């Protein structure tokens, strides 16, 4: 029987399996050693693999990211943790100016097999700077792979793939899914980066989501089937870069309608890229413009107001209703 693991445990399993299989893999960051990480993703690794392979760095994200560059240059495969999305910003210069560019600057001579794990997004009732959806900064930086799992199995498989990748990967872990359980098969062959998954097949319209928005899209699809008679397909991107045009395009060509759902602010968000790509590739199949359901264009709200910011089932259904259905269908 395949064991049920919470997403945080699945990530822990991925780190521990990768460290066991390859002694070039090492894990460091803030509070990832004896404490096991503030979300317990690195629980037990320091004890199992010793302080050389899993340790707490001095508290400085730029230093953590910058030393990972040097370690990767010397043949290690570092997996570094940023404690929260908004606390990754001090590392931004290293990420943008070096981690993303070193392969290109050296005409492929230097590769950077490193992973930057970032607990990502909101919905956990936290005070400011603990809930940012910061993917747009990373996807806009050529040279970085960007991954955002939505299930425990993907958390395991995609983290294994990220660690195996010879290019740097920004790995966005949806905080509010850390405790969500799912079956995790550890023996499965590593999943390649860059493949989206159809989580729910459907015919009426396609919901495109990633990370924490996937469960919202699935719940909206269930609600739509129950109350509105729409049969919605849900595509989970899983990897933002590289982007799986093929799966997304095939789905929207079939359904003729699409809504993108993400937590980050809509303005110049990743949804804008998705909508543009879908519009170009599916223009003659589309019955309505591609719509987006996103966070508001604001600094992340204080926790008691965050529910107004985060996409939820009613907002997704409202967008679906606005997809120019024929008169006889359900319209709003």
Partner 1 sequence: MSVTSRPGPAPPGTHEMLPGAEPVRLLDAAGRWVGTGTPPDAGLRRELYRRMVLGRQFDRQATALGKQGALAVYPSSYGQEACQIGATMALRETDWLFPTYRDSVALVARGIDPFEVLTLMRGSWHCGYSVRRHRTAPQCTPLATQCPHAVGLAHAARLAGDDLVSLSFIGDGGTSEGDFHEACNFAAVHRVPTVFLVQNNQYAISVPLAAQTAAPTLAHKAIGYGMRAALVDGNDALAVYTTVTEAVERARAGGGPTLIEALTYRMNPHTSADDPTRYRSAEEVAVWSGRDPLDRLAAHLRAEGLLDDATAAAYTAEAEALAAGLRDRMRQPPALDPLELFDHVYAAPTPQLREQAAELAARLGRHAS
Active site residue 130: yes
**Minimum gap (Å) between residue 8 Cβ and partner 1:** 14
Nearer to partner 1, 256 or 266 (CB): 266
CA distances from 90 to 63, 82, 170 (A): 9, 10, 15
Among residues 9, 83, 131, 247, the one that binds ligand TPP under rule CB under 6 A? 83
> Least distance to partner 1 from the beta carbon of 128, Å?
5
Q: Which residues pair with 116 in a beta bridge?
A: 80, 170
CA dist 81 and 95 (Å) reads: 13
Q: Using CB under 8 A, pick the residue from 253, 315, 322, 330 that binds partner 1.
A: 315
128 binds partner 1 (CB under 8 A): yes
- Bridge-partner residues for 145, per DSSP? 169
- By a kind-dependent CB cut-off of 5 to 8 A, residue 229 interacts, out of ligand TPP, partner 1, none, with none
Measured distance CA(8)–CA(248) in Å, rounded: 28
Residues 87-116 that bind partner 1 (CB under 8 A): 87, 89-90
22 touches partner 1 by CB under 8 A: no
Question: Does residue 17 touch partner 1 according to CB under 8 A?
Answer: no
Determine which residue in the list 30, 85, 135, 306 makes contact with ligand TPP, applying CB under 6 A: 30
Which of the residues 130, 180, 262, 309 is marked catalytic?
130
Comparing CA positions, the residue from 218, 149, 215, 121 lying closest to residue 7 is 149
Site for partner 1 in 33-92 (CB under 8 A): 33-36, 38, 56, 58-63, 86-87, 89-90
Triad 317, 320, 322: Cα angle to 5°:
115
Q: Distance between the two ends of the chain, CA-based, in angstroms?
A: 46
Angle, to 10 degrees, between the axis of helix 313-321 and the axis of helix 213-227? 60
Among all chains, which residue has been given the structure tokens 């396609």? Answer: 206
Complex with partner 1: residue 198 or 272, whichever CB lies closer: 272
**Can you tell me which residue has the tokens 């809504």?**
259
**Structure tokens given for 99:** 């981690």
Alpha-helix residue ranges (DSSP H) falling in 2-54: 7-21, 45-49
Which of 305, 324, 329, 332 is the binder for partner 1 (CB under 8 A)?
305
Which residues between 137 and 196 bind partner 1 (CB under 8 A)?
none
Query: Cβ of residue 90: shortest distance to ligand TPP, in angstroms?
Result: 5
Nearest approach in angstroms of CB 129 to ligand TPP is 7
Vertex 238 angle, CA 252 and 182, to 5°:
115
57 vs 190, which CB is nearer to ligand TPP?
Answer: 57
In angstroms, give the least distance from the CB of 132 to ligand TPP: 12
Min CB(130)–partner 1 separation in Å: 8
Query: Residue 267 binds which one of ligand TPP, partner 1, none, with CB within 5 to 8 A depending on kind?
Result: partner 1
CB 234 within 8 A of CB 202: yes
**At 174, phi and psi to the nearest 5?**
-65, 115
User: At which residue do the structure tokens 């905080």 appear?
Assistant: 175
Q: Just list the catalytic residues.
A: 130
* Binding-site ranges for partner 1 (CB under 8 A): 30-31, 33-36, 38, 56, 58-63, 86-87, 89-90, 125-130, 267, 296-299, 301-305, 308-309, 314-315
């Amino acid at each position: 029987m395949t064991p049920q693991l919470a997403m945080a445990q699945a990530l822990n399993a991925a780190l521990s399996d990768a460290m066991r299989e390859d002694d070039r893999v090492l894990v460091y960051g803030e509070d990832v050693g004896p404490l096991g990480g503030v979300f317990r993703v690195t629980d037990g690794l320091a004890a199992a693999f010793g302080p050389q392979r899993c340790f707490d760095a001095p508290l400085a994200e730029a230093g953590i990211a910058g030393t990972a560059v040097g370690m990767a240059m010397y043949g290690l495969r570092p997996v570094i943790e940023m404690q929260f999305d908004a606390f990754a910003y001090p590392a931004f210069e290293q990420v943008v100016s070096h981690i993303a560019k070193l392969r290109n600057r050296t005409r492929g001579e230097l590769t950077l097999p490193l992973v930057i794990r970032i607990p990502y997004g909101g919905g956990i009732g936290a005070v400011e700077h603990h809930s940012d959806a910061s993917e747009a900064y990373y996807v806009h930086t050529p040279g970085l792979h960007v991954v955002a799992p939505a299930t425990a199995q993907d958390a395991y498989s995609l983290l294994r793939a990220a660690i195996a990748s010879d290019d740097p990967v920004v790995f966005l872990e949806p905080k509010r899914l850390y405790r969500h359980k799912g079956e995790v098969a550890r023996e499965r062959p590593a999943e390649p980066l860059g493949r989206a998954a159809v989580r729910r097949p459907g015919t009426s319209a396609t919901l495109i989501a990633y990370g924490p928005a996937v469960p919202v899209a699935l719940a909206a699809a269930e609600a739509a089937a129950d109350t509105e008679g729409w049969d919605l397909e849900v595509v989970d991107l899983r990897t933002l870069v590289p982007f799986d045009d093929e799966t997304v395009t095939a789905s929207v060509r079939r359904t003729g309608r699409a809504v993108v759902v993400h937590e980050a602010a809509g303005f110049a968000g990743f949804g804008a890229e998705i909508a543009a790509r879908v519009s170009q590739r599916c223009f003659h199949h589309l019955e309505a413009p591609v719509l987006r359901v996103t966070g508001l264009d604001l600094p992340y709200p204080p926790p008691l107001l965050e529910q107004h910011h985060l996409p939820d089932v009613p907002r997704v259904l409202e967008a679906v209703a606005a997809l120019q259905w024929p008169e006889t269908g359900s319209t709003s």
